């Protein structure tokens, strides 16, 4: 299969490597011609994926030089807030039969739309979503991982499953696109909250309590949007949540630690060196929860820190001072 991977960051590079190992004809589209030339020459991506050799079979091209017409699969490996611009660029260049796959995890600020919704809106064609506990650092080193491909068209999901699954990367299918994309988005600000807890010096009890109560608020907001409850206990739900909240690879968890130590959101992204999706998704989730009148205490407190309205220490007092209630509230 001829594949165009748009985005040469950590996940784009790791995913391209995975597909190349499967024998696909892979082209990575970098933002600039200069970046593409460097990747083509060195076969390394030291800023985003240090220590990983990228196969000779992968071609690197700047977006200004790209020809999407031959691509049978177009992969969006870009930050959520860039998906619309990229999809708008793709629209006149893709062939009508090309499949589309989003790796983005978040909600578009303003429209509050999921990545596949944005892609369909701009290209006029549907897209599948891939999500799960898939840190690029581990996938690129062939460590066993599993993921979910979600699509409303089962035939497309099965086709992508067969093209992506490898001896180290197991793919499951799911028709709950809403739930899979929602889980992929909301786990990021939750990981920021867990990182703040770690940064304040709290222990395992605090971390476990935050993660568990976050599952409850994830489920509340997700189900009202039409997500299936089973998705929250799957790879895209609790699986990705555990990985993002506990891993040393997690940019979102690290961001929370830095916030707890007094860094501003802008300083956090500078120190992390990559886009931290949770900082942007927290804003979108605040707007979404407000619009739907759903209580999201953990992610709301992350938003309040980012807005400069509370310190991480004050968030602890707010969360611990909430009115006591039943654990199962409104069925969740």
Smallest Cα–Cα separation from 188: which of 234, 253, 270? 253
Instruction: Report the distance separating Cα 162 and Cα 140, nearest Å.
Output: 19
Instruction: Report the distance separating Cα 37 and Cα 59, nearest Å.
Output: 10
CA dist 162 to 124, 151, 155, 158, 167, Å?
A: 25, 14, 11, 6, 12
Does residue 141 carry a catalytic annotation?
Answer: no
User: Could you count the other beta carbons within 10 Å of the beta carbon of residue 202?
Assistant: 16
Smallest Cα–Cα separation from 260: which of 176, 192, 181, 329? 192
Instruction: Report the distance separating Cα 306 and Cα 297, nearest Å.
Output: 14
Smallest Cα–Cα separation from 77: which of 65, 90, 67? 90
Please pick, among 105, 113, 187, 325, the residue that the annotation labels catalytic: 187
Radius of gyration of the chain (CA): 19
**Residue 168 CA to its chain's centroid (Å):** 20
* Catalytically annotated residues: 187
């Amino acid at each position: 299969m001829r594949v165009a991977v748009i985005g040469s960051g950590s996940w784009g590079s790791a995913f391209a490597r995975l597909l190349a190992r499967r024998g696909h004809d892979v082209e990575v589209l970098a933002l600039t011609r200069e970046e593409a030339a460097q990747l083509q020459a060195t076969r390394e991506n030291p800023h985003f994926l240090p220590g990983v050799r990228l196969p000779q079979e992968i071609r690197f091209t700047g977006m200004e030089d790209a020809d999407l017409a031959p691509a049978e699969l177009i992969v969006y490996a870009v930050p959520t807030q860039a998906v619309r611009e990229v999809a708008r660029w793709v629209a006149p260049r893709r062939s009508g039969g090309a499949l589309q796959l989003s790796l983005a995890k978040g909600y578009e600020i303003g429209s509050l739309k999921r990545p596949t919704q944005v892609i369909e809106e701009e290209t006029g064609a549907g897209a599948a979503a891939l999500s799960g506990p898939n840190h690029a650092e581990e996938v690129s080193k062939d460590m066993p991982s599993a993921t979910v491909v979600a699509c409303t068209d089962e035939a497309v999901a099965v086709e992508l499953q067969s093209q992506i699954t490898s001896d180290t990367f197991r793919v499951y299918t799911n028709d709950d696109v809403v739930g899979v994309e929602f889980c992929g988005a909301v786990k990021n600000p939750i990981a920021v909250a867990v990182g703040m807890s770690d940064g304040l010096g709290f222990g395992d009890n605090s971390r476990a309590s935050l993660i568990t109560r976050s599952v409850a608020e994830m489920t509340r907001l997700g189900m009202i949007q039409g997500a299936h409850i089973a998705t929250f206990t799957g790879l895209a739900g609790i699986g990705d949540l555990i990985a993002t909240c506990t891993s040393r690879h997690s940019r979102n968890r690290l961001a929370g630690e830095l916030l707890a130590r007094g860094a501003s959101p802008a300083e956090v992204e500078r120190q992390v060196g990559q886009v931290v999706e949770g900082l942007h998704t927290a804003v979108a989730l605040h707007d979404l929860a407000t619009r739907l009148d759903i209580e999201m205490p953990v992610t709301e407190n992350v938003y309040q820190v980012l807005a400069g309205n509370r310190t991480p220490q004050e968030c602890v007092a707010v969360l611990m001072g909430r009115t006591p209630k039943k654990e199962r509230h409104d069925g969740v």
